Amino acid sequence: MTQFPLPPGQQLAAAHKWPFVGERAPGQGPEAWTLTLVEVSGRRHQWSWDQLLALPRTRLEVDIHCVTRWSILAMPFVGVTLADLLKSAGVVSSAGFVSFVARSDRRHSTSLPLADALELNTLIAWEAQAKPLESVHGGPLRSVVPGRYFYKSVKWLERIELLDSDRLGYWEATAGYHNAADPWREQRYLAPSLDRRETANLLAARDFSGLDLRGIDARGHNLAGLQAVNALLRDSDFRGCDLSGANFAGANLSNARLADVNLRSTSFLGADLEGADFSRAELQGANFTGASIFGASFAPVDDQGQVVTNDSARWDHTTQFDSARLEDLLPAQRTLFQ
């Protein structure tokens, strides 16, 4: 069911431009897709493709909320609910957790408390938008967990494991994604903790190159000329900084807060700027060539989802944008560049 307004910090993407995020293709395996369920006891159940299609079907309209700030409302999925799948196997489980495991090169997975997964109406889906699920979106089979950030929905689902104790998923274990992932509470990321002193030393040295400083709070500092090549700065907060002439080539600044920042002649060559906020920033001479700007904001949006042009970033002919990449902006943001 569609809920309005959007969860905090999310913006609408166009339904016909469903972005793909993360891994792009499944790993090798037998051609015929099967789904395996492993109980806590180790007991296994397996469904062939035909057996899956014969299970009770559910059509669900799911609001997709990606942690990099784009949402698509009411995406229609068809599949079998996790509850019906368990029922069909005669499994009544008191397991605490469920892990969804992908057939992918890195054995991608994600987990949830089993009670939450059931209550949220988790779907094992093979169809979206009335078509077989496309491979980039996890076809032939993916899990879909309504009411959680989309990283809780695994593409190329091949195994479901019931667990007594939780086993963190790939993004949760390696990249600090929040394990609870509730978009209404903005449970996006956990940052590694930097102590005050460490932060102060780093800010004074103005060299972040190659460092993992996710979530760093650098608000209001003079960081002109900062070197931050290939730095991991997701979810960092630079609001009100002077970052003129800084070098963020290859850096990950997804969801970074860059509102009210002086970014004159700053380089974002090939940087990941998904979900970053540039409201009211000065972008004269900045270079966005090769940067990924999906879900980035160049002006805040109001309650109606319209951009507040008065609070837009400022740029001119010396700002370098890839026109092709501007197509990736969410519809409301794109209007700024027309």
Ligand X SMILES: Nc1nc2c(c(=O)[nH]1)N[C@H]1C(S)=C(S)[C@@H](COP(=O)(O)O)O[C@H]1N2
DSSP 156: S
**38, 40, 42, 44: CA torsion to nearest 10:** -30
Whole-angstrom Cα distance, residue 110 to residue 128? 21
**Closer residue to ligand X (CB): 155 or 178:** 155
Which residues face 38 on adjacent strands? 44, 161
Shortest separation between residue 83's beta carbon and ligand X, angstroms: 21
Shortest separation between residue 26's beta carbon and ligand X, angstroms: 8
**Closer residue to Mo ion (CB): 68 or 244:** 68
Residues that bind ligand X (CB under 6 A): 18-23, 66, 102, 104, 108, 137-138, 150-151, 153-156, 171
Exactly one of 67, 154, 157, 216 binds Mo ion (CB under 5 A); that residue is 67
Query: Which of Mo ion, ligand X, none sits in contact with 153, Cβ below 5 to 8 A by type?
Result: ligand X
Shortest separation between residue 109's beta carbon and ligand X, angstroms: 8
Dihedrals phi, psi of 237, to nearest 5 degrees: -125, 105
Shortest separation between residue 140's beta carbon and Mo ion, angstroms: 21
Which of 199, 176, 218, 141 minimizes the C-alpha distance to 67?
A: 176
Cα dist. 150→24, 45, 258 in Å? 15, 26, 24
75 lies in the site for Mo ion, by CB under 5 A: no
Find the helix or strand (DSSP H, E) in which 171 lies: helix 170-175
Neighbours of 188 (CB within 10 A): 23
**Closer residue to ligand X (CB): 23 or 260:** 23
**Closer residue to Mo ion (CB): 66 or 256:** 66
Q: Could you tell me whether strands 11-12 and 70-81 are parallel, antiparallel, or unpaired per DSSP bridges? A: parallel
6-45 residues near Mo ion, rule: CB under 5 A: 21
Nearest residue relative to ligand X (C-beta): 22
Footprint of Mo ion (CB under 5 A) = 21, 66-67, 151
